[in-house]
Structures are given as C-alpha cells and as structure tokens.
C-alpha cells in the first residue's frame, strides 16, 4: 500500500491561544501529526515570514447559489474564500429559493462538498422565506446540521415573532443572528444619513435604525436567555450597546466587516455603486469606535459580508443599485492594513471566535497541534499587494478596493489535509 503523503509547512510562526512560536507543521491524512523544529515531508510549503494558524472562518458569506449564479456560485465563492485563507464559510440564506428547508440546505452543503475547497455551512432562515411572518422549522434544520439562523438582508421587524424565535431556538441549542435594521426608518435609503447624503440628495440610513433593533434584541436576550449574534454592526452606538450587554453577562456576540473598519461614507460622493452596502459605510467616528470595539473584545469576529453582484446588476443609478461588496479575498489585508491586530487577536477575530459562534468548533478554529483536523491558513502580514478587480476568483468584480494597496495576504490554505491554495494560487 502506498505510503500516505506527508505535507510540511516549513519555516513559519505557529499561532495558538497563548502561544506564538516558530515551528514546522506536519500533516498526514487530514490531520496535524507533528508540530516542531526541522520537520520534512513529501510536499513542503514554504512559510518563511508567515504565520501558521487554524484556517479562517467567515460568519457571513453570500454565495448566491441557488438563484443568482450569474453573480457567484458555490464553487467560485469557495475558491475566493480559500484564497482569502478561509477553510469554512457560513452561507447566508438569502438564496432563491431561500435556505429555509432541509432540501435547500442540503443542496448548498453538497455543492460545497463538490467544490471541495472550504467547508460550506448553510445558515437557516429565522422566518419562512425571510418574510418575517412565520418561524422556519429550526428543529428539522438543526437535525440537518444547521447551527445558525438569520434572515440576513432583512431584520426581523415583529418583536413578538422575535421573542418566540429566541424562545424556540433556545431549546434546540442553536444561535439566531440578527441583521439589525428597523425597515421603516430606512425606506429607500441609499447611504449613511449625514452631511454627505444631504448634500447629494439621496435618502439616508440613520444609525438609529440599527441601534433601535439591537437594543430591542439585547433586551429579548435578557428576557429569554437565548444566545444571539449580531451581524455587521456599523455604528459607534451599536458598539456601546454590545459592550454594556456583555458587561451584564448576556450571551451576545457581534461581528464587524472589514469595510466598516476601513471605508467611510464620503466615498459615495463619487456616485460609484461599488461603495453602496447595507448597512452603509459610516463616519470616521463610527470607524474609530468599531476599531476600539475590535481592540477591547466587544467585537468578537470580523466577517466579510461578501456580496457579489453581476456588473450589469450593480451598474445602475445609486438609488437602484443593489447593496453589497466583495470581501473574501481582501478581508485579511483590509484588517491588517486598517487595524493591524496582534497575531493571536487576529486569529480570535478571523478563526477561533467565528468557529465557536457558527457552532463548527469541532473542526475549525482548533489549535495547530497533533491530532487536530488540518484546516490551516498560512499568511503574511508584511506582504504589500495591490488589489485588482480583474484578478479575483469571485465571478463578480464589485470590490471597493480596486487599485488600493493592502498590507497582509494569505499565502497557502490547507483544507481537510489537502493543499487548496499554494503560493496565492487556488487549485483549478
């Protein structure tokens, strides 16, 4: 019988909780078998100058399949994720049909397996069809492996329904994730409500619309005891609300996107729909508050909200263009460039915490240690590169970072013991 191939990641710095140290990592048959000095193998990946950690986990990916394959497929999105250093993504349920049934959820998971580049974990819907009127069948979906539920793109407006959802979810040990937006306050909204939107003459998206629902849901968590995750928080007020909820010991977690840490609303002044996103880009003051939240632990995770749109769909007047921007291939670079967290903190934000929030910490966000699943990212925080929308793996090109210089890039990705990205190139 042929001997099993031994992969060695050589010359890097291994990042584990409480331990950041130079070491080589040997992998055989899907598992880490050895971490130490001077290791050799059949396939050696150079990690000189790089950090070696558990693969990143994206809590917030729109893969668009089924329904909008012209913008992205599970395969192209998986490739973009692998290039970004991700070994698992949570696929948002605003597909067509929506991920509110076992059939659709299993289709998405199976397409992820076929692509074989990252683990694709479908999120379920909080309400049937994301319509906000009736609870989705959480127990059936949980039995099919779904651990996190959201109506992302829509906030659940009805407070009674949200209360019932939390009570019902609590019994099943699953987590609900809210897109916080009181929709009556954002009708027709194009961008952050502030001086810029008033001068441009477009309807604004006030910070209050996010904070009001966040506040309501924090109080519902206090009432029900059910855990809750808050998606893509964007305002200084939101950071403060989560900070207080955590100080009260409530089981809440929160994510921010790279773009809300790096880009502000004044970019919309050029009318380019690539900068239109929901929630919208905010003010410099909001960005500073989000960075503070990332630094002090109020924010648990950085999640991309990777939202591909076909060029013709995005090339509309600003008020008609759909919101959303690409993020998977640039998240690490934007985070390092904008915030420059220490390696351990970076792993908490990109891998360890999101794996736990997604309920997939049995296989992801694990220590790099013998016996652990080999889901690993090798990344360089000193590499400077220029983003080109023409050089991305995503089927769409709506990156807001085109032409921008970033510091920090993923170099190799190992998924389930297999090298899926080698020297910034994905497997065909």
Partner 1 sequence: MKHLITTAGLDAAEIGNLLDVADHMAEINSRPVPKVPALRGRTVASVFFEDSTRTRLSFETAAKRLSADTMTFSASTSSLNKGESLRDTIETLSAMGVDAFVVRHKSSGVPEAVTQWTDAVVINAGDGWHQHPTQALLDAFTVTRSFGDGNTMQGRHIAIVGDIKHSRVARSCMDVFVKLGARVTAVAPSTLLPAGGLPGGVAVAHGIDDVVGECDVLYMLRMQRERMDSALVPELGEYSARFGLDPARAARLPAHSLVMHPGPMNRGVEMLVDPSHLPGSRILAQVANGVSVRMAVLFSLLGGAAAGLERGDS
Residues at the contact surface with partner 1, assessed by CB under 8 A: 193-202, 204, 206, 270-271, 312, 315-320
Q: How near is the Cβ of 285 to partner 1 at its closest, in Å?
A: 14
Cβ proximity to partner 1: between 312 and 390 the closer is 312
Tell me if the bond preceding 306 is cis, omega within 30° of 0: no
Closest separation in Å from C-beta 211 to partner 1: 16
Which position has the token pair 């893509």? 232
Given the complex with partner 1, which of 320 and 388 has the nearer CB atom? 320
Closest CB to partner 1 among 93 and 273? Answer: 273
Segment holding 172, helix H or strand E: helix 159-172
Q: Residues 136, 126: contact at Cβ < 8 Å? A: yes
Interior angle at CA 359, CA 344 and CA 369, nearest 5: 45
* 159, 166, 395 from 183: Cα distances, Å: 13, 20, 30
Q: Name which of 36 and 203 has its Cβ closer to partner 1.
A: 203
What is the distance between the terminal CA atoms of the chain, rounded to a whole angstrom?
Answer: 28
Nearest Cα residue to 147 out of 328, 321, 363: 363
- Is 386 within 8 Å of 402 (Cβ atoms)? no
- Taking the complex as a whole, the smallest distance from the CB of residue 196 to partner 1 amounts, in Å, to 7
Catalytic residues: 305
Least distance from C-beta 68 to partner 1, angstroms?
A: 18
CB nearer to partner 1: give 165 or 268.
268
Residue 121: CB minimum distance to partner 1, A: 36
Do residues 122 and 91 lie in contact, with contact meaning Cβ atoms separated by under 8 Å?
yes
Nearer to partner 1, 201 or 249 (CB): 201
- Bridge pairing between strands 204-205 and 191-192: parallel
Distance, CA of 355 to chain centre? 11
- Stated length of the chain: 428
Q: How far is the CB of 314 from partner 1 (least distance, A)?
A: 11
Exposure of 251 by Cβ count < 10 A (0-12 exposed, 13-18 middle, 19+ buried)?
Answer: middle
Complete DSSP assignment for 341-386: --HHHHHIIIIIHHHHHHT-TTTSS--S-TTSB--EEEEEEEEEEE
Dist. CA 374–CA 366, nearest whole Å: 9
**Which residue in this structure is represented by tokens 């630094």?**
295
Q: For the sheet containing 301-302, what is the strand order?
A: 148-150, 175-178, 228-230, 252-256, 301-302
CB of 184 to partner 1, least distance (A): 11
Instruction: Return the number of the residue (202 or 392) whose C-beta is nearest partner 1.
Output: 202
| Pick from 57, 149, 55, 153: nearest CA to 367 | 55
């Amino acid at each position: 019988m042929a001997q099993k191939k031994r992969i060695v990641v050589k010359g890097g710095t291994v990042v584990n909780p409480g331990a950041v140290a130079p070491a080589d990592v040997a992998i055989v048959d899907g598992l880490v078998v050895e971490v130490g000095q001077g290791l050799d193998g059949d396939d050696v990946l150079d990690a000189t100058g790089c950090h070696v950690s558990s693969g990143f986990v994206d809590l917030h990916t729109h893969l668009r399949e089924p329904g909008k394959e012209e913008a992205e497929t599970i395969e192209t999105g998986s490739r973009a994720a692998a290039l970004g250093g991700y070994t698992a993504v949570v696929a948002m349920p605003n597909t067509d049909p929506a991920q509110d049934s076992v059939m659709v959820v299993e289709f998405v998971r199976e397409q992820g397996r076929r692509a074989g580049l990252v683990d694709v974990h479908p999120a379920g819907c909080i309400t049937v069809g994301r319509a906000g009127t009736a609870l989705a069948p959480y127990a059936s979906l949980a039995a099919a492996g779904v651990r996190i539920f959201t109506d992302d793109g829509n906030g659940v407006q009805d407070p009674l329904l949200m209360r019932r959802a939390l009570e019902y979810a609590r019994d099943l040990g699953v987590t609900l994730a809210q897109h916080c937006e009181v929709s009556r306050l954002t009708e027709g909204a194009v961008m952050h409500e502030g001086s810029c939107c008033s001068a441009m003459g477009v309807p604004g998206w006030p910070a209050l619309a996010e904070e009001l629902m966040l506040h309501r849901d924090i109080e519902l968590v206090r009432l029900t005891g059910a855990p809750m995750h808050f998606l893509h928080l964007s305002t200084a007020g939101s950071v403060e609300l989560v900070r207080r909820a955590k100080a009260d010991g409530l089981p809440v977690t929160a994510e921010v996107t790279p773009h809300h840490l790096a880009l502000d609303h004044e970019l919309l002044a050029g009318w380019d729909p690539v900068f239109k996103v929901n929630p919208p880009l905010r003010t410099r003051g909001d960005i500073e508050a989000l960075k503070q939240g990332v630094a002090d632990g109020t924010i648990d995770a950085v999640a991309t909200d990777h939202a591909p749109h076909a060029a013709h769909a995005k090339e509309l007047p600003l008020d008609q263009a759909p919101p959303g921007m690409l993020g998977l291939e640039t998240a690490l670079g934007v985070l390092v460039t904008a915030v420059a967290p220490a390696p351990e903190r970076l792993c908490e934000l990109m891998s360890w915490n999101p794996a736990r929030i997604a309920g997939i910490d049995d296989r992801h966000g694990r220590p790099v240690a013998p016996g652990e699943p080999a889901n690993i990212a090798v990344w360089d925080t000193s590499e400077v590169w220029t983003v080109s929308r023409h050089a991305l793996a995503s089927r769409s090109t709506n990156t807001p970072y085109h032409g921008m210089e970033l510091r920090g890039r993923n170099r190799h990705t190992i998924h389930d013991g297999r090298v899926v990205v080698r020297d910034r190139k994905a497997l065909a």
